[in-house]
Chain A
């Protein structure tokens, strides 16, 4: 499946990007380059060969972990992406955790206290999340917490005055905790607050919606009524029986909603000047750097497919009905 998907998408974007006007060789050479220079760059990039040969070369490279050379940075795309990957991973990871630890309780609360203020609040929160442009909510948070109140930093991963922690995983919060750079640890955590909150909101709202509706469904089941009749406590029933059953469909939705997290990261990184893959690809877009754009798309596509594979396995582990 994975191979198949990557094949299809590289094929689409590759051919589309090559039928449009706009010559990467011209772009690399600059506006005043001679025709000879442009021709030699074309040859160097392989742009003078037939399209299908170029595509074949690209696919062959992809199979060997080679995504081509970025036109903008002149570096192998895979190196560029690898350099920016940890920052994106750290941001997405914190946003994900935030969305889970706030979204699930909020969804449960909305379902248990159906049609009360709590329920309406949860519904407004989740409607806002699917409607808000990530770049706008980020800007509003910056305006409020950075410009007006001065509580939180609005850009980067770390204050420029602090030396980054030694690299182990590339995640600043993990590396600094492992090596005892506590100033870095708190500072990077501090820098994570606004972007992680901004990014998590979309996924949070998807989770709240799903948890609420599957909790409502489970709470209406007869085994809950039986539990109540047998004198089980309300809280115990909700957590131990209802939530556990409601989580099965929720996990699938969480897996799919990671897509919105990965896509949202592109915008969030741009707004908060976060040095991750999203920021990199937006700059690549500005200079029509197709190897970089395609490399990013391929990596995100692969990550998304892999994540959903893990979700399926998790599903299998949680739901005894599938195992039978």
Chain B
């Protein structure tokens, strides 16, 4: 309680230490390896992909996996392997962007809500209650449909769906931090509330927010794919995994590899991120440790 800043930064800081602890668990090590591999594949897609994800070869439509087309081709002869590689950029990139947007907006809203209290707090929290009282995919569908079906709006809709968790988390932390001595001291020095919240409160509530971000990544990628599948996310010919399956599942019976391999890419990616999220939480969640828990 007495030295919160130091205690926290020592606990969560030290990248090498964290890396060692993360890879100590076999499952988490596997997850780290998978996530690194997926991110690398996504980043290097332009160099790794044997073909452009959008170049059409009608003569080779729906051909089975072969040495030339590792995963076969789709209904207009585009190379499926290339499309799946490029799809990783969209899923991981948009997923990360969406979660970060939710985390950023949620942290600011929650921190101010907790610091100010009173009516602003009441208003913001009731709004979050509304968002929380819908199944996430149903709310994301309604919002994405209302905003208009495209990838950017899908990402925005998912960010709104994910928002309440961050607001609640940041608010709870901000409430306890703002009662601590250094915040009182800052106030006595006459610092404005904007300064106190952004410079003194938010840096101290980041660790649980970071854990929540890693926990949410897998689910967000899944939501993007689901919206894509329902026609509410990326639109063809964008090589987005969900949108690819929404076209490809008509070919399930005769060209099983088309939707099946695309879906496998989603499954493996989401599972890797979920496994990583679990690992990070187990490591940093103070409730799972006897000593050195969060002081607040």
Contact = CB atoms under 8 A, between A and B. Distances in A.
Interface residues of A, number: 50
Nearest to B218: A131
B70 interface: no
B130 A136 contact: no
Interface string A3-28: 01100110011001100111000000
B226 A130 contact: no
Interface string B29-62: 0000000000000000000000000000000000
Nearest to A258: B135
Interface stretch (A102-110, A184-192, A242-250, A289-297): A289-297
A285 interface: yes
Contacts of A270: 230
Contacts of B134: 5, 9, 259, 297, 300-301, 304
B5 interface: no
Contact of B230 (A12, A127, A131, A267): A267
Contacts of A147: 252-253, 256
A322 interface: no
B51 to A, nearest CB: 24
Q: Among the interface residues A130, A147, A258, which one has the most CB atoms of the partner chain B within 10 A?
A: A130
A314 to B, nearest CB: 18
Given A13-B143, A127-B274, A264-B137, A22 B252 contact: no
Nearest to B230: A282
B197 interface: no
Contact of A305 (B133, B145, B230, B252): B133
A143 B249 CA distance: 10
B41 to A, nearest CB: 18
Contact of B146 (A1, A139, A290, A300): A290
Contacts of B274: 127, 130-131
Given A134-B226, A136-B266, A271 B249 contact: yes
Nearest to B160: A12
A140 B148 contact: no
Contact of B270 (A20, A133, A140, A300): A133
A131 to B, nearest CB: 4
3 closest pairs, A vs B, by CB? A136-B263, A263-B137, A259-B135
Interface of B: 126-127, 129-130, 133-139, 141-143, 145-149, 218-219, 222, 225-226, 229-232, 242, 245, 249, 252-253, 256, 259-260, 263-264, 266-267, 270-271, 274-275, 278
Interface of A: 1, 4-5, 8-9, 12-13, 16-17, 20-22, 127-128, 130-136, 139-140, 142-143, 147, 258-260, 262-264, 266-267, 270-271, 281-282, 285-286, 288, 290, 293-294, 296-297, 300-301, 304-305
